[in-house]
Amino acid sequence: MLDTSVHPAMPPAPGVGYKPQHFSDIMEDAGPVRWLEVHAENYMGDGGRPIAQLRHLAERFPISVHGVGLSIGGEAPLDRDHLARLAHLIGWLQPARFSEHLAWSTHESAFLNDLLPLPYTEATLARVASHIDQVQEALGRQMLLENPSTYLAFAESEMKETDFLREVARRTGCGLLLDINNVFVSATNQQTDPRAYIAAFPLDRVGEVHLGGHDEQADDHGAPLLIDSHDSPVVDPVWTLYAETIARMGPRPTLIEWDTDVPPWPVLAAEAARSDAVLSAVPVDAA
């Protein structure tokens, strides 16, 4: 039977995306960090140092597995080999969470190294829900679906992104991963209100929150263009939006994402400590 509950082992506390160069620091003194995230595709092999390190970490920390390669929104069927290798990883690791993106990254036999947006239509909704059902059945557990960072809106969209996510969660029983930086990036790029997005978001379905950095650029007309890059500190406006969201829904497990130009451990731990201060200011039963 599919377990659609939110796993109790994940504390409403800060986590970070694990990078091998931080292994010794984490094992010696993790500071405010209470859990770790790994990308599924980095751990689908059968052995070696990455798997050995992950086994050690899993003895001390809850692990959240984040997928980037399932192409949940793709038009083609899910890759059965990829899903089988993912199920094997989830089977032996038994992580506290598994999450994926509301995006597509495959076309025919090609894999595109990007997470591409979708039009929010009834046809897309049916396809995404079917794929999530297939993933949850294969894994025997609930998955979380992450809101995307977007740069343009599709003219053919028939519903708002928040309504789309709410209906996906209703149909499939999946949870949601709320990426606050993605909300800020998308709202800035499309000149909408990030607070209105949060107000419309199904916060009761949120099992995990993400924070990360972004690049500030400009489009051909000089308007602000933000790129979700995960290569820098979380900016102050995102911290403000995060604090307002936590005050509204209560504490949730919160990940600091920093995937490129990875800093020394003290820098990452300081970002986690800032998240911890926000979480600690709100009672756990505030939602």
Lowest mean pLDDT among 11-15, 129-133, 213-217: 213-217
pLDDT digits (tens, 9 = 90+) for 254-263: 999 999 999 9
pLDDT digits over 188-235, tens only?
Answer: 988 999 999 999 999 999 999 999 987 777 766 677 777 777 788 999
77 CB contacts (<8 Å, ≥6 apart)?
none
Is pLDDT at 99 greater than 80 in this prediction? yes
286 against 90, higher pLDDT: 90
Q: Quick one: 8 exposed, middle or buried, by C-beta within 10 A (0-12, 13-18, 19+)?
A: exposed
Facing residues of 226 across strands?
A: 216
CA angle 216, 148, 253 (to 5 degrees): 95
Give dist(CA 67, CA 236) in Å, integer.
28
Res. 280: pLDDT tops 70: yes
* CA dist 165 → 45, 121, 169, 170, 175 (Å): 32, 12, 6, 9, 10
Per-residue DSSP letter, 204: G
Residue 108 has pLDDT above 80, yes or no: no
Record the pTM. Answer: 0.90
Q: Which residues of 133-142 are buried (b: 16+ CB within 10 A; e: fewer)?
A: ebbbebbebb
Which domains occur in the chain, in start order? 14-280 (3.20.20.150)
